[in-house]
């Protein structure tokens, strides 16, 4: 099968926004629609499951220049559609932007302003289940067996008990949650409805869909049809699924362009943080940043991961360290800054599109949901050094194309030290159909990380370097990032001296 994926994603850096918690508009409250003039939870209070802090899309639009300055090129929003939950995975209306977010007026302004700055916009599609407030399910609750929409959902028997835990629900809910009735994707009108929702927002101008729990949809051919219909409107639209483990089934070029790459997240944190990982924060979610591993094991896991899917897919995976579903990375690593810095270095130098979870770049912490969904810190509380680090590593990736789309080659391991190369030829750039940004280079980049407590010396043999690129002989290297020393040996090998808990890019 000829696998094609969106060219823009291959060079993208994503920023994930949880809309209720990123930014409130600077507009006077009295000038906002009445649906936004409502009581809200204090912005800096610990977040609760059932409360709103009132972040909105006007606020996001007002902060787009901040995102451009950070260096990101795409935004992934968790759901924005009308809902009775702060996270908005309980969809009430797939065609309406939540009024608390500013409605369609705010979204239209945001989308236009983002595109004017070269920022792509990807929305979260919750197409496995709806909510008790979704009109077609609500009609069933009101009219019982007389409802014309019964076949849209998976009703088992009567009566339904959507709220009373003392009785069986009598309808299928996602993970048995009564608040989340599951669609009957085998029912043609329900299936067509969801397809048309996907098409509608692509026609409105969004640049892709992130698909919530797509593995729960068991109807044969559903996601293949979804892809065909989305790509028929915009061949460059990005389709990325929330799949936490092996995604081979969905990544053969006929369904998704990528998945949220938790198979990168777990081993990366297990390597750079080791026993610093806070086990209570990671034993529930299924991405396993434990037990601690050494460099050889990490290199093997990354090599295996990169062999798992077609290369075209690898370049459009969504790589991450934090998300709205897991504890923030800085908390996971016990607020050990060197662990985070090494993880961020590996994130920015790995094949696929890196994604920054809102606030990680300014030093935000947070435990498991809902604590990982805190309000974005006021500027007076930003960690400016942390922000500068993110800007530097994002800029490094964007200015060296090899770090985005170059071939990945493991070079050497020694205890807790690991080195790899990203190499890119002009021919590969042409084959990928990429534009070379002004000032970007094609040089091969060597990346080395020492996650250990002692300084280490890695020697990369000349024949290993030659396999990466015939032009490499260990000479002429330039330090691009980090702390360390590189020395060319007489036989053409390269000796790298790396301090403890440090990384380097040559």
Please identify every residue annotated as catalytic. 212, 242
Residue 486 Cα to chain centre, angstroms: 34
The C-alpha atoms of residue 173 and residue 155 are separated, in whole angstroms, by 10
The C-alpha atoms of residue 486 and residue 415 are separated, in whole angstroms, by 19
The C-alpha atoms of residue 488 and residue 471 are separated, in whole angstroms, by 14
**Biggest CA pair distance of the chain:** 85
Kind of pairing between the strands at 238-241 and 258-259? parallel
Residue 118 Cα to chain centre, angstroms: 19
The C-alpha atoms of residue 360 and residue 306 are separated, in whole angstroms, by 26
HSE-CB at 180 with a 13 A cutoff on CA atoms is 16
Return the H-helix or E-strand segment holding 62.
Answer: helix 57-62
**Helix, strand or coil for residue 405?**
helix
Read off the DSSP letter of residue 371: G
Torsion of CA 85, 70, 202, 104, to 10 degrees: 50
Q: What are the DSSP E strand ranges found in 58-132? A: 74-77, 81-83, 91-97, 120-125
What is the per-residue DSSP string for 112-176?
A: HHHHHTT-EEEEEE--SB--TTSHHHHHHHHHGGG-TTGGGB-B-SSS--SS-TTS---B-BGGG
> Would you say 160 and 179 are in contact if contact means Cβ atoms under 8 Å apart?
no
């Amino acid at each position: 099968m000829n696998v094609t994926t969106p060219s823009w994603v291959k060079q993208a850096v994503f920023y994930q926004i949880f809309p209720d918690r990123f930014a409130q508009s600077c507009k006077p409250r009295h000038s906002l629609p009445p649906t936004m003039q409502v009581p809200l939870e204090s912005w800096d209070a610990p977040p609760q499951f059932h409360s709103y802090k009132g972040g909105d899309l006007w606020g996001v639009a007002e902060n787009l220049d901040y995102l451009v300055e950070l260096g990101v090129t795409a935004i992934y929003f968790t759901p924005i559609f009308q809902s009775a939950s702060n996270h908005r995975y309980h969809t009430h209306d797939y065609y309406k932007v939540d009024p608390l977010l500013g409605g369609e007026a705010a979204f239209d302004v945001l989308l236009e302003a983002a595109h004017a700055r070269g920022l792509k916009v990807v929305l979260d599609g919750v197409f496995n289940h709806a909510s008790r407030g979704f009109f077609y399910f609500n009609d069933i609750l009101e009219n019982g067996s007389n409802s014309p929409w019964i076949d849209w959902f998976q009703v088992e028997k009567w009566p339904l008990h959507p709220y009373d835990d003392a009785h069986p629900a009598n309808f299928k809910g996602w993970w048995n949650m009564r608040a989340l009735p599951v669609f009957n994707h085998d029912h043609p009108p329900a299936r067509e409805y969801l397809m048309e929702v996907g098409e509608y927002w692509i026609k409105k101008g969004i640049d892709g869909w992130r698909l919530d729990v797509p593995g729960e949809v068991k109807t044969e051919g559903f996601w293949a049809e979804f892809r065909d219909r989305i790509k028929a409107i915009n061949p460059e639209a990005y389709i990325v699924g929330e799949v936490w483990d092996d995604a081979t089934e969905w990544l053969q070029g006929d369904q998704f362009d990528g998945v949220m790459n938790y198979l990168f997240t777990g081993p990366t944190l297990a390597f750079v943080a080791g026993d610093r990982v806070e086990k209570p924060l990671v034993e529930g979610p299924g991405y396993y940043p434990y037990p601690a591993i050494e460099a050889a094991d990490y290199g093997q896991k990354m090599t295996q991961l990169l062999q798992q899917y077609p290369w075209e897919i690898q370049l459009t995976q969504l790589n991450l360290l934090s998300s709205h579903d897991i504890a923030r990375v800085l908390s996971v690593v016990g607020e050990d800054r060197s662990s985070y810095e090494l993880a961020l270095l590996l994130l920015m130098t790995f094949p696929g599109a890196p994604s920054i979870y809102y606030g990680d770049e300014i030093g935000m912490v947070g435990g498991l949901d809902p604590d990982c969904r805190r309000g974005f810190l006021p500027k007076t509380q930003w960690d400016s050094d942390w922000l500068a680090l993110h800007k530097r590593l994002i800029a490094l990736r964007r200015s060296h194309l090899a770090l985005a789309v170059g071939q990945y080659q493991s070079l050497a391991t020694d205890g807790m030290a690991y080195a790899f190369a990203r190499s890119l030829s002009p021919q590969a750039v042409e084959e990928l159909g990429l534009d070379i940004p002004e000032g970007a280079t094609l040089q091969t980049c060597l990346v080395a990380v020492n996650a250990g407590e002692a300084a280490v010396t890695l020697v990369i043999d000349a024949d290993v370097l030659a396999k990466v690129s015939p032009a490499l002989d260990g000479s002429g290297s330039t330090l691009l990032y980090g702390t360390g020393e590189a020395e060319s040996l007489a036989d053409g090998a390269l000796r790298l001296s790396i301090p403890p808990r440090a990384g380097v890019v040559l």
